[in-house]
């Protein structure tokens, strides 16, 4: 082998060796790398395990937190309930203490101190069993002495505050009462003064108005209209009001004693125009006579006077004119008064008083003092006066004769039954008193006539359900009342033609109504509710005849009374 070849082999060997070393080195490096990678992988796995573990822990923690927060919520709810219960208990304790009287307070205090068993250990007021069961902790704490003492102090403070407040309230009430009393007195005196002045002024104005009205009435023919309201009647068997209605429906006006109100329970039905007077319900027969006596006295002076009692059945016409035996009415009192006056004047004047009594029934005139005269007629005398030939006239010279004469006439009165009132008078009854006065010195004689007329009931035919004879009666009554109204109105208005001739009633009374006569119409009203419509219709009648003719008339001097009355003040008013 040449050296070159040997050299080449060495190099080759060296290269191979190097190569092998490098290979080993590379393998080593590979191994190291692999180990490194393995280590990393292991570490990574470990890390993943740790992360998993941590995540599991976090999840556990979250669960735990949730459980905790749930527990916390429950606890705070519980806490709230406890708080509310405590507040409620405190309130109820305070309320109890406030409401209890001092005595109760003491006893309840004692009871609660020993728990109601007398053990003497102070304890808080026991809450309701529910609360005790639900909130044992609270009850326990409430039973703690310090807490109970606080409550006691609080209760005492509240009690003293309550006493103070009570005292304050009493003081305020006293002060208020004193103040009110003073104010009331002040107001009353001021109002009373104010009203007194007002009422005085009003009365003065009313008086003036009435004086003017009187003058006007005298100029218009001297016709007066009074209302009389009878009292509510009581049933004899049970003393109850006649129609079961205790409230009267007719009232006198408080401010104007000439006005009546006819009302029912719901609304005002009618307020009358002012009449001359309203006679109150409680007036006695004597008081009523005092109201009418001036007009009666003028008869003795030669005036013709007519007094009419107008009203529906049961309104009290006969009571006013005749009256019961123990309370005689206008008829008897009037004749007695004429006697008295005649007696007083007997030194100068000789009087002669004659009484006749008649009734007009179905337009027939009957003599009530002599029943044989059952159909009298009216005649015209030569002097143009109307007379009733055959009518009995009784000369009365004593009170007893007057009483007997009137009683005789009363017996003969026709009383027919109607549906409205079975005792109803269906005729007009006229008591006529003729007073002749002869002056003993001058020998001049004057004659005055007094006609006291108890008219038949004014109820409307439609209301009575009358048929046959009763219907005929009712129609005759209605006609004559309506004619009377027309005559009175025509006289008041001073009309040229006065329709006296239209019925027997006005024909009989022609002489008495005509001329310088005086007429008083007493319109009767019944206060019971069932007569409401009749009362309204009576008020309408009163208003019609009470109308004052205000202007455009001249007094008709030709209509004078035949006997020529002396000139005396004509007004019947006081």
Ligand X SMILES: Nc1ncnc2c1ncn2[C@@H]1O[C@H](COP(=O)(O)OP(=O)(O)OP(=O)(O)O)[C@@H](O)[C@H]1O
Where along the sequence are the contacts to ligand X (CB under 6 A)? 230-231, 233, 311, 313-319, 421, 424-425, 457, 524
Quote the least distance from Cβ 430 to ligand X, whole Å. 14
Quote the least distance from Cβ 318 to ligand X, whole Å. 3
Quote the least distance from Cβ 262 to ligand X, whole Å. 17
- The single-letter DSSP state of residue 502 is G
Contact 320, 329 (CB under 8 A): yes
| 117 marked as binding residue | no
Q: How many CA atoms lie within 13 A of 558 on its CB side?
A: 5
Separation between Cα atoms, residue 72 and residue 485, nearest integer Å: 104
Q: Which residues pair with 507 in a beta bridge?
A: none
| 497 marked as binding residue | no
Among 383, 386, 503, 402, which Cα is nearest to 452's? 402
Phi (first) and psi of residue 304, to 5 degrees: -95, 130
**Nearest to ligand X of 30, 422 (CB atom):** 422
Question: Both tokens of residue 418?
Answer: 């109607």
Sign of CA pseudo-dihedral 358, 362, 363, 366: negative
| 277 marked as binding residue | no
**Nearest to ligand X of 272, 421 (CB atom):** 421
**Nearest to ligand X of 342, 416 (CB atom):** 416
Residues 6+ apart with CB under 8 A from 153: none
Question: Both tokens of residue 537?
Answer: 């219709």
**Nearest to ligand X of 304, 318 (CB atom):** 318
**Nearest to ligand X of 210, 230 (CB atom):** 230
| 313 marked as binding residue | yes
Quote the least distance from Cβ 342 to ligand X, whole Å. 29
Quote the least distance from Cβ 184 to ligand X, whole Å. 40
Separation between Cα atoms, residue 11 and residue 338, nearest integer Å: 198
Q: Which DSSP string corresponds to 430-446?
A: EEEEEEEEEETTT--EE
Among 413, 183, 422, which Cα is nearest to 321's? 413
Separation between Cα atoms, residue 308 and residue 491, nearest integer Å: 15
Quote the least distance from Cβ 438 to ligand X, whole Å. 37
Separation between Cα atoms, residue 220 and residue 258, nearest integer Å: 19
Quote the least distance from Cβ 251 to ligand X, whole Å. 16
**Nearest to ligand X of 257, 318 (CB atom):** 318
**Nearest to ligand X of 298, 425 (CB atom):** 425
Quote the least distance from Cβ 248 to ligand X, whole Å. 13
**Nearest to ligand X of 152, 315 (CB atom):** 315
Q: What angle do CA 409, 412, 416 make, to 5 degrees?
A: 130
Separation between Cα atoms, residue 421 and residue 211, nearest integer Å: 40
- The single-letter DSSP state of residue 503 is S
| 318 marked as binding residue | yes
Quote the least distance from Cβ 231 to ligand X, whole Å. 5
Helix and strand totals (H; E) in the chain = 14, 14
Quote the least distance from Cβ 317 to ligand X, whole Å. 4
Separation between Cα atoms, residue 308 and residue 451, nearest integer Å: 8
Phi (first) and psi of residue 370, to 5 degrees: -150, 95
**Nearest to ligand X of 75, 417 (CB atom):** 417
- Give the Cβ contact number of residue 100 at 10 Å: 16
Question: Both tokens of residue 453?
Answer: 């007329």
Residues 6+ apart with CB under 8 A from 402: 332, 335, 336, 339, 355, 396
CA max distance for the chain: 228
Residues annotated in the binding site for ATP, as ranges?
311-318
Residue set of the binding site: 311-318
């Amino acid at each position: 082998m040449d050296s070159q070849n040997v050299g080449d082999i060495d190099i080759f060997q060296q290269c191979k060796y190097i190569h092998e070393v490098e290979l080993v080195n590379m393998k080593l490096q590979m191994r190291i790398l692999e180990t490194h990678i393995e280590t990393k992988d292991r570490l990574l796995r470990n890390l993943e395990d740790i992360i998993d573990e941590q995540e599991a822990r976090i999840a556990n923690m979250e669960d735990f937190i949730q459980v905790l927060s749930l527990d916390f919520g429950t606890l705070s709810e519980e806490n709230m309930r406890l708080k509310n219960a405590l507040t409620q208990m405190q309130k109820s304790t305070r309320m109890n203490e406030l409401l209890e009287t001092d005595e109760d307070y003491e006893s309840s205090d004692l009871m609660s101190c020993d728990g109601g068993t007398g053990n003497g250990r102070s304890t808080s007021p026991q809450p309701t069993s529910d609360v005790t069961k639900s909130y044992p902790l609270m009850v326990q704490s409430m039973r703690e002495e310090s807490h109970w003492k606080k409550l006691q102090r609080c209760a005492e403070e509240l009690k003293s505050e309550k006493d103070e407040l009570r005292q304050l309230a009493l003081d305020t009430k006293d002060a208020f009462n004193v103040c009110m009393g003073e104010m009331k007195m002040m107001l009353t005196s001021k109002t009373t003064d104010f009203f007194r002045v007002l009422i005085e002024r009003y009365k003065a104005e009313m008086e003036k108005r009435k004086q003017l009205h009187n003058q006007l009435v005298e100029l218009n023919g001297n016709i007066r209209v009074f209302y009389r309201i009878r009292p509510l009647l009581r049933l004899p068997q049970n003393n109850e009001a006649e129609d079961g209605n205790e409230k009267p429906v007719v009232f006198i006006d408080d401010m104007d004693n000439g006005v009546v109100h006819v009302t029912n329970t719901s609304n005002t039905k009618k307020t009358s125009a002012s009449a001359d007077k309203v006679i109150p319900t409680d007036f006695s027969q004597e008081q009523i006579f005092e109201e009418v006596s001036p007009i009666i006295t003028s008869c003795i002076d030669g005036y013709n006077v007519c007094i009419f009692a107008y009203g529906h059945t049961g309104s009290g016409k006969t009571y006013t004119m005749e009256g019961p035996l123990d309370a005689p009415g206008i008829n008897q009192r009037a004749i007695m008064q004429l006697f008295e006056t005649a007696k007083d004047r007997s030194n100068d004047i000789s009087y002669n008083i004659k009484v006749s009594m008649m009734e007009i029934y179905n337009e027939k005139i009957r003599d009530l003092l002599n029943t044989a005269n059952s159909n009298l007629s009216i005649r015209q005398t030569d002097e143009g006066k109307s007379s009733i030939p055959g009518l009995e006239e009784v000369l009365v010279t004593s009170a007893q004769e007057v009483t007997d004469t009137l009683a005789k006439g009363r017996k003969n009165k026709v009383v027919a039954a109607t549906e409205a009132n079975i005792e109803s008078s269906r005729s007009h009854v006229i008591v006529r008193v003729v007073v002749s006065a002869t002056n003993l010195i001058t020998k001049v004689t004057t004659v005055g006539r007094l006609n006291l007329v108890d008219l038949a009931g004014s109820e409307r035919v439609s209301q009575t359900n009358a048929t046959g004879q009763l219907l005929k009666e009712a129609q005759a009554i209605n006609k004559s009342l309506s004619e009377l109204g027309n005559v009175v109105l025509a006289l008041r208005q001073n009309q040229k033609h006065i329709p006296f001739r239209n019925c027997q009633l006005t024909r009989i009374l022609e002489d008495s109504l005509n001329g310088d006569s005086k007429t008083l119409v007493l319109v009767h009203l019944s206060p019971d509710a069932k007569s409401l419509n009749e009362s309204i219709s009576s008020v309408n009648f009163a208003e019609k005849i009470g109308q004052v003719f205000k202007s455009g008339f001249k007094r008709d001097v030709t209509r004078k009374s035949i006997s020529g009355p002396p000139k005396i003040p004509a007004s019947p008013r006081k």
